[in-house]
Amino acid sequence: MKRIALLAAVLAAALSTTPSAQGTFRTGVDVVSLNVTIVDTTNHYVTDLDEKDFSVFEDGVKQDLSFFTRKQQPIALSLLLDSSASMEDKLGTLQIAAANFVKRLKSNDTAQVIDFDSRVEIRQGFTSNQNELQSAIQQTSAGGSTSLYNAIYIALKELAKVKAAGDEDVRRQALVLFSDGEDTSSLISFDEVLELAKRSEVAIFTIALRGADTQSKGFHEAE
């Protein structure tokens, strides 16, 4: 997995209440963590920007940046592996690709492995143990239909449970989906998954396995 320096910005907006009759008041602070990736017109990553190069707005109102760093942050990664019947002759390639992602994880990163066909199974919960992650990847076998939306929905819910180690812990969250086709059997709708994804802080990447009838073979990263 090509690791890039991501820009992390934390947005703080203070909301104050009306003073009571005793003259006391309370102030609440909403903190929003934003992980930002910048590319130029040639689709190359830009890694030399500073805090002054960014402005954050909410409902048209400019907000203050209380924290900014270009330092690479640890990641919580969810690997979604399509193990439906159509993947039978491609599963080996998928396993190799997923294993390569695991090999590139740092000691303070954490990841989980979820495979799906007509059902969704968490093969390995979040861990930093690469041997456990690799073992979970190798346990996948092909069969059944494709409950793609169900899998993404569950993965997003699992990522939401990942807690920061402390107030200064800024952990990126990402979901990498390996699949060769479209959803065929989910109970969750596309709109439901889309709405949950919008509310999350998760970067979602899809890696499609091209068939022999396409011009390009192997994995192709889709936008």
**Full DSSP string of 2-70:** ---PPEEEEEEEEEEPPP-TTS---EEEEEEEEEE--B-TTS-B-----GGG--EEETTEEEEEEEEE-
Distance CA 207, CA 55 (A): 31
- Domains observed in the chain: 7-69 (no CATH), 75-222 (3.40.50.410)
* pLDDT score, position 23: 56
**Under DSSP, is residue 221 helix (H, G, I), strand (E, B) or coil?**
strand
Instruction: Give the pLDDT band of residue 168 (cuts 50, 70, 90).
Output: low
The answer to whether the beta carbons of residues 178 and 151 sit under 8 Å apart is: no
* pLDDT score, position 9: 37
Distance CA 34, CA 201 (A): 7
What mean pLDDT, rounded, does the chain reach? Answer: 79
Residue 203 has pLDDT above 70, yes or no: yes
Predicted TM-score of the model (pTM): 0.70
| Maximum mean pLDDT: which of 54-68, 85-99, 206-220 | 85-99
pLDDT tens-digit map of 113-124? 999 999 999 999
The whole-number average pLDDT for the span 106-111 is: 93
* pLDDT score, position 183: 92
Residue 216 has pLDDT above 80, yes or no: no
pLDDT tens-digit map of 81-91? 999 999 999 99
Structure tokens belonging to residue 89? 């002759």
Distance of CA 210 to the CA centre of its chain: 22
